[in-house]
Amino acid sequence: MTVDLPQPSPDTRAPWVIATRESRLALWQAEHVRDLLMQRFGRTVTLLGMTTQGDQILDRALSKVGGKGLFVKELELALEAGRADLAVHSLKDVPMELPEGFVLAAVMEREDPRDALVSPRHASLQALPQGAVVGTSSLRRLTQLRALRPDLRIEPLRGNLDTRLRKLDEGQYDAIVLAAAGLKRLGLGERIRQFIDTDTMLPAAGQGALGLEVRAAHPELPQALRALAHQPTWLAAAAERAVSRALGGSCSMPLAAFGDWQTYAGQDVLRLRVRLGHPELPGILSAERCAAVRTLTDAEVLGREAAAALRTQAEAQATPGWLGAPPSAP
């Protein structure tokens, strides 16, 4: 006898659409979020791949053409037009001020926040020969490398992760510095010759974390996405981003900010370390602040305190330009 088993009801709800850049790393990140949403909510989730201005402009430094916001603008336009419901970003690429009507609905658990040295021949920063060519277009990395090894030749390096690795393999550089998180997410951890500890090179605000951006008025997602949030990462990243926001940070400011959790007297405390370089001169300003952070408001306060410490040091310098471009001549 044949028994007709009941069939599951089809999901008639409209699919959630994720806007994403089309680089291999961006697609991995979007697919990761898609899979989590489908598992948790049983919804159909699709991807909308897009090419951003930041992906197209490869011959100039981001600080010269509009900053990292060039990586997210087209994705936000897709959200605004209703073509997508959420965008998945590397949080370090997200501007500190979002356009009106948009919110970060969640920050997910951070991958490895460190920078990584990739080189076919040299095992560490210390092992690089005098005058070695190191590729990076990050002013944050450039100023810290210059403080560590003023003898190195730092050359610009743009493009997605695969493009940067290809340029290294073609012999254009002796070594390049990349975010460890991207290499590990794409299964390229074996390319890393040295994980650069955060005492040696402090990461960018939000490095290694994913941010989920939505329209604030979306009827479902802002609340639903909180299920994917990792509160310790979100609080640390909020403090880091508050430093940059307080200083008016952009790609033209060599600013590093990194929060990690420490235990003092049995209490979890967020330690926030910050560094500020000068785009043209040697030297690094640094500060550290700690606080018992429990809310995003607490994180903002901690970030502003660290920024104030940097500002005090910068204002004490005789050289202009620590907190932006040098003033124009009268």
Query: Looking at the chain, how many residues does it have?
Result: 330
CB 173 within 8 A of CB 155: yes
Whole-angstrom distance, CA of residue 272 vs CA of residue 53: 32
What CATH number has the domain bearing residue 177? 3.40.190.10
Is residue 236 predicted with pLDDT exceeding 80? Answer: yes
Angle at 77 between CA 74 and CA 82, to 5 degrees: 130
Number of compact structural domains in the chain = 3
Structure confidence at residue 271 (pLDDT):
98
The 10s digit of each residue's pLDDT in 46-102 is: 999 998 654 544 444 444 444 455 668 889 999 999 999 999 999 998 998 999 999
Q: What is the DSSP letter of 231?
A: H
pLDDT band with cut points at 50, 70 and 90 for residue 2? low
Q: Tell me the two tokens of residue 19.
A: 């806007």
Whole-angstrom distance, CA of residue 40 vs CA of residue 223: 13
What CATH number has the domain bearing residue 243? 3.30.160.40
260 belongs to the catalytic site: no
Of 168 and 2, which is predicted with more confidence?
A: 168
Q: Tell me the two tokens of residue 64.
A: 């010269």
In this structure, the answer to whether residues 215 and 162 fall within a common structural domain is no
Considering 55, 93, 115, 174, which one is annotated as catalytic? 93
In this structure, the answer to whether residues 140 and 167 fall within a common structural domain is yes
HEC states along 247-283?
HCCCCCCCEEEEEEEEEECCEEEEEEEEEEECCCCCC
Closest CA to 108 of 224, 228, 215: 228
E strands present in the chain: 16-21, 45-50, 86-90, 102-107, 115-118, 133-135, 153-155, 175-179, 192-196, 210-215, 255-264, 267-277, 284-291
In this structure, the answer to whether residues 162 and 299 fall within a common structural domain is no
The 10s digit of each residue's pLDDT in 136-161 is: 989 999 999 999 999 999 999 988 99
In this structure, the answer to whether residues 218 and 92 fall within a common structural domain is yes
In this structure, the answer to whether residues 123 and 160 fall within a common structural domain is yes
Asked whether residue 192 is assigned to any structural domain, the reply reads yes
